[in-house]
Structure 1
Amino acid sequence: MEAGDGPPFSALSLVPVSVSQLHPQDAAWEAMLSGWAAQMRSRGLSPATIEPRLGSVRRFMLFTGEYPWQWSSADLDEWSTDLLQGRRVSKSTLRTYHGGLRLFCDYLVDPRYGWAERCLDLFGTHPVQVCHEWNTLPHVIDQEARPGVRPLTRDEIQALFDHADNQVELARRSGRKGWLAAWRAATWLKIIYAFGLRRREVAMLDITDFCRNSEASEFAEFGICQVRYGKAMRGSPPRRRSVLAVWPWSSMVLAEYLEHVRPGYPGADGPALWPTERGGRVSVDYLTRRFATWRDDLGLSPELHPHCLRHSYVTHLVEDGWDPFFVQQQVGHRWGSTTGLYTGVSGDFKNRTLRTALDRLMGENT
């Protein structure tokens, strides 16, 4: 295959006229995928974004048994029905599939890449956009999480902390080596909640990510948590933010862990806050599995996951009267409306707010 017959990622550069393909249909199909992947990489998108999009397109192709220049909107209708009714995927998952397929078709029908002309030359037909407003799921509400996913109550948070600490004591009394891992897990559970962190954010923490806050000396060396692996947006690098400690117990938990637990790991000489027995770094999957074990032990809903601790952090700060903009900055949301989605403010807080407003109105009328 010769390069230079057309602009980068275009049909002529990927399936040049000067080359006779033994299997032109398969060659064009693979070239379309590789061209689209290259286009996404040029936009700075990560493999974690690119691969699922390619996967959704491949699944659609396998379902239809046809190549992209043969696809129709009716094919998408049948595929969507099969996924929803036959395989029972969630609507949010189907929306993700639709989004990937729509972007792929946008690439194919864009005249700058020349796929329509090249397919007409090779196959006598051309790709079309099969995704439109009448056969794809709209995003009509802000929050699509399952109803069972909610902030934990303060009693549930305390029960989780107590249960995790009890696991440490049980392991130590039995003389098992696993007490270090149990203590490490109990600490990161508390730190997720104490700073309102996402799973990847807490897993990627280093010791040097904590520092003093000159305005809050009571937190000692742990007044500020520097988050370096925040959620990326549209191909950008991970976003950074500083999260201020708000609960005094968080600094005591970290100090105790660093003094008594972390030195017992082979990777203690490295930067990772949560080293493993093999000198690596605790994974996000490990955090998820450990939380699920505690949750099931306590008989909590199976829909709850570690991210619910972040929801709890937002809710409890708002309940305690912290400024909503401060809370928004702490969790790294660009818009206050996003923070609002995380808030499951309790009935007591609503009643206190109502009582304050009514007392003020009654005072104005007397």
Structure 2
Amino acid sequence: MNADDAPESPAVPREVLAEFERHLRAERGVSPHTLRAYLGDIQDLCRYATEVGVSGVEALDVAVLRAWLARQHSVGRSRATLARRTAAARTFTAYLFRRGLIPDDPGLLLGTPQRLRDLPAVLAQDQVARLLDDMTAEGPLGLRDRAVLEVLYATGVRVSELCGLDVDDLDTERQTVRVLGKGSKERTVPMGDPAARAVQDWLRYGRPELATEHSGPALFLGARGGRLHPTSARRIVHTRIAEVGDMPDLSPHGLRHSAATHLLEGGADLRSVQEMLGHASLQTTQIYTQVSVERLKQVHRQAHPRGAE
């Protein structure tokens, strides 16, 4: 449901929600997923504000926001959901304040719940080597699958970024790829020889077999010649990992986690990995240092004479 379809609320007029949606789309450039989530969060906030008798947007103060979030906690919302809803509320009140619709910004007084983040699952370096080196690449789809996995692991791009790549985004001489990430932020990411060779083989021998008049500039194509969809890319990764066997089933995001972890294990600095992955915050990248430390502790426990009782 978009803002124009939202029920009328005494707390926040429908036209204000519609303008907020346009603000998120045009000025903030948020992803479609974030747009849906934030709009749903704010519509829920509006329903709550109406229930508790808020009669106008100017009465949307910090007490109402905190009470709304407290209700989310009481019904068992996860920390991740609470953190996102807090971020949505802060974005909304900041927008209202800039528009002059409220006298001050109550969102500034909200704390942000800390998310308890599980360590991401990753493949070991020898498992990745087995996956990529032993993969059969017969026919155009086989060549495509090899190139997809090689690029995902070589660059650490998100699956949506991979599927959004065009042929012109590749610089084969410099072995780099131009990526359009979250918030329409562009970055250039390097890729090594194996990925470059796999992509060149796909472009030379695979893509021409699948391309149609509707393919456009898309780098990776589906079986019918259209741009490869993220769902299909996920299926490719799951299928190819299952073919190897004896390793955890990971999604494309798991290959992204693996790439980041292996970069840090190889001596890369956090800032470089942050830039490569397109993380807005260094704090997001630091999760991979925990993965490396946990793996080191596991090796110590298994290999050191006094590592474990």
TM-score, normalising length: structure 2 = 0.71
- State the one-letter code of the partner of 1:263: P
**Equivalent residue, structure 2, for 1:104:** 92
1:64–1:347: structure 2 CA closer, same or farther, 3 Å change rule? same
Gaps of 5+ in 2: 1-6, 301-309
1:230 and 2:181 matched: yes
1:208 aligns with 2:168: yes
Name the structure 2 match of 1:347: 296
Deviation per CA, 1:129-176: give whole Å up to 9, x if none.
58954xx6423x7xx5323x233211321343367x24x56xxxxxxx
Aligned partners of 2:287, 2:259: CA distance in 1, in Å? Answer: 13
Quick check: which has more Rg, 1 or 2? 1
**Residue of structure 1 aligned with 2:194, choices 249, 273, 278:** 249
Cα 1:106/1:301, change in 2 over 3 Å: same
Alignment of structure 1 residues 1-366 onto 2, 5 Å: 29-41=13-25, 43-46=27-30, 48=32, 49-62=34-47, 66=51, 68-69=54-55, 72=64, 73-82=66-75, 84=76, 89-108=77-96, 110=97, 113-114=100-101, 129=106, 132-133=109-110, 137-139=112-114, 144-147=116-119, 149-161=120-132, 165-166=135-136, 180-212=140-172, 221=173, 223-232=174-183, 237-241=184-188, 243-246=189-192, 248-267=193-212, 270-295=216-241, 298=245, 300-301=247-248, 304-322=250-268, 327-332=273-278, 338-343=284-289, 344-345=291-292, 346-347=295-296
CA spacing shift, 1:333–1:41, aligned 2, 3 Å:
closer
Q: CA separation in 2, counterparts of 1:46 and 1:112?
A: 19
| 2:305 equivalent in structure 1 | none
The CA deviation at 1:64 is: 6.8
- Against the structure 1 CA distance between its residues 324 and 41, is the aligned structure 2 distance closer, same or farther, given a 3 Å change threshold? closer
Q: Give the residue type in structure 1 aligned to 2:233.
A: L
Tell me how far 1:257 sits from its aligned partner.
1.9
Segments of structure 1 that go 5 or more residues without pairing to the other structure are 1-22, 117-126, 170-178, 213-220, 352-366
Per-residue CA distance 1:30-68 (angstroms, 9 max, x = gap): 133124334445634346244321111223444676265
Q: CA RMSD in A?
A: 4.0
Q: 1:77 to 1:314 in 2, by over 3 A?
A: closer
Q: % of aligned pairs identical?
A: 26
* 1:235-263 C-alpha deviation (Å, 9 max, x unpaired): xx32222x3333x3223322322222111
Query: SS of the residue aligned with 1:197?
Result: coil
- Structure of greater relative contact order (alpha carbons < 8 Å, 6+ residues apart): 2
C-alpha separation in 1, matches of 2:27 and 2:238: 36
Indicate if the aligned counterparts of 1:98 and 1:131 stay in contact, CA closer than 8 A: no
| Alignment check: 8 A CA contact 1:76 1:130 kept | no
In structure 2, do the counterparts of structure 1 residues 226 and 156 end up closer, same or farther at CA, with 3 Å as the change threshold?
A: same
Give the 3-state SS of the residue equivalent to 2:176 in structure 1.
Answer: strand
Is the CA contact 1:57–1:101 (under 8 Å) kept in the aligned structure 2? yes
Distance apart, 1:189 and its partner CA: 0.8
Code of the aligned partner of 2:27: R
Return the alpha-carbon distance in structure 2 between the equivalents of residues 104 and 325 of structure 1.
31
